[in-house]
Amino acid sequence: MSAKFLGPFVSYDGLDPSDTSSFDNYRVYANFSNFMEIYQEGENAEIITMYRHLYKGTPPTGSFTGAYFEFYVIGEEDSLADSDYGFTKFLNRNVSNVLTSSPEQVIIKPEYPQSLAAVSQQTYCSPF
Amino acid sequence: MKTISIPRARQLANVTNNMFLSSATWDSFDTSTFQLVSSASTFIALGVQPGYIVFNPENSSTWAEVVSVDSETQLTLSGVFSTTVIGGTTELQRFSIVTPAEAFLVSTTDLATAKQWWSTYKVGDKIQSKGQQQRTLANLAVSTILDITIDVVAGTAEITVDKPMQTSNPILAYKQGDIMAIPVNYISGLEFYSYANSTSGEFIVIMYMGGADEYEVRPINEFLTSAEDVLALQPKFEAAVMNAISEVIRAPWPTANVMIEDSYGWEIDFYYEY
């Protein structure tokens, strides 16, 4: 499968997104071809990592690459333990969109369900 | 292997300064009468003549000729010239003046340099000036070589280009086919970062390749002075990168390269895991 990029995931680093005079913006596209795993770390579902194992070819270093996600829960310092905010489902849904996209589609925009928007003010994605 | 690329920049050495007036600042420029007022200038004492070329050293995509020297501080020009960086909104009040004989020349009086230019560059290659404040971003003040001559007795070489270039600041040259490439299939993710406050701003893309290996792609002169310019230029930067990725991945051949559009004036740094 050729490279396919899911994005952009937009993060404003906690600043006001409507401020056009002072900002700190991240717009991330993650390569989800050949992904193998969505891994949820911790019990509060804040951090989810996607690994993209590189079986073919020789990556410069390392045996896998991926993307690390942080979700910021609206109105809470920390997300509640054992709560399902739908973050894993959100990522699974979008990975499905990548896998079922046509060969002509290289960049796939993320789908944000309203239920996710209700609990998460922004998603920060950091590839590695 | 599928790659995206930018043209590789080489800085020219021993370039003769062709500027009659390297840099000045205008107080007003009337785009209907084409009258330029620069209160700090002394155009008559300096010897500015009709026919001299006036241009913005940050962006010489359009330029104007001096029609008349009205006073020490006022010129009437033949038309408008660029007063912003391309795509940007911040008005740049700087201008340069060069004689018509020198306006479209990049020259050297060093024999070894002349020989190197002659043997390396050809018609169609590109020349770029970094500009007065060295804020020349992507594809600004990029000219095409129309002719190149060498005089081995005098030890000089002249490159004729299609736009005025400010040669009092670094001049970059781009040889056709000489590129810096990034393997697309190994890109784990791309992070487009943009930042601005009231006095400065920048934008960049970091391409993660796995482990701690990454490419950073940015304009050579990455720092801007206004949030407006960041907001105007960053989307074009991002679109150019992502369009190149889409195009090369969709290419039917197993090996293909796509050059990022308008990427003259960009650079790539590679950081790797020790």
CB A45 within 8 A of CB A79: yes
Number of structural domains, chain A? 1
Which residue(s) pair with B59 in the sheet?
B56
Query: Over 90: is that where the pLDDT of B209 sits?
Result: no
ipTM: 0.85
Domain range annotation of chain B: 2-6+181-271, 8-16+103-178, 21-98
Put simply, the answer to whether A23 touches B195 (Cβ < 8 Å) is yes
Q: How confident is the model at residue B88 (pLDDT cuts 50, 70, 90)?
A: low
Which pTM value belongs to this model?
0.87
Contacts of A50 in chain B (CB under 8 A): none
The pLDDT, as a whole number, for residue A45 is 42
- Nearest CB to A25; choose among B187, B194, B246: B194
- Segment among A15-19, A58-62, B109-113 with least mean pLDDT: A58-62
Query: With an 8 Å Cβ cutoff, is A3 touching chain B?
Result: yes
Percent of chain B with pLDDT over 70: 93
The pLDDT, as a whole number, for residue A56 is 45
Q: Rounded to the nearest 10 degrees, how much is the dihedral formed by the CA atoms of A90, A95, A100, A105?
A: 110
The domain of A64 spans 5-127
CB A26 within 8 A of CB A8: no
Contacts of B272 in chain A (CB under 8 A): 60-61
The pLDDT, as a whole number, for residue B193 is 95
Which residue(s) pair with B122 in the sheet?
none
Characterize A51-61 residue by residue with b for buried, 16 or more Cβ atoms within 10 angstroms of its Cβ, and e for exposed.
bbebeeeebbe
Q: Rounded CA gap, A38 and A68, in Å? A: 10
The pLDDT, as a whole number, for residue B273 is 66
**CATH 2.40.30, applies to B8-16+103-178:** yes
Q: How confident is the model at residue B23 (pLDDT cuts 50, 70, 90)?
A: confident
CATH architecture of B21-98: Beta Barrel (2.40)
Backbone angles phi, psi at A95, to 5 degrees: -65, -35
* Share of chain A residues as helix, strand and coil, in percent rounded to the nearest 5: 15, 40, 45
Query: Which tokens is B116 given?
Result: 């190197």
How does pLDDT run across B97-135, given as a tens digit for each residue?
999 999 999 999 999 999 999 999 999 999 998 876 666
**Would B8-16+103-178 and B21-98 be classified into the same CATH topology?**
yes
Contacts of B198 in chain A (CB under 8 A): 21-22
Amino acid letter at A37? E
Q: For chain B, how many residues are written?
A: 274
Interface test with A, best of B241, B249, B255 (most A CBs within 10 A): B249
Strands A5-11 and A107-108: parallel
Percent of chain B with pLDDT over 90: 69
Amino acid letter at A25? N
Provide the mean pLDDT of chain B. 90
The pLDDT, as a whole number, for residue A38 is 75
In sequence order, which residues have a C-beta less than 8 Å from that of residue A102 and are 6 or more positions away? none
Q: What is the CA radius of gyration of chain B?
A: 21
Put simply, the answer to whether A61 touches B190 (Cβ < 8 Å) is no
Q: How confident is the model at residue A109 (pLDDT cuts 50, 70, 90)?
A: very high
Query: Over 90: is that where the pLDDT of B251 sits?
Result: yes
Q: Which residue has the higher pLDDT, A62 or B205?
A: B205
CB B132 within 8 A of CB B58: yes
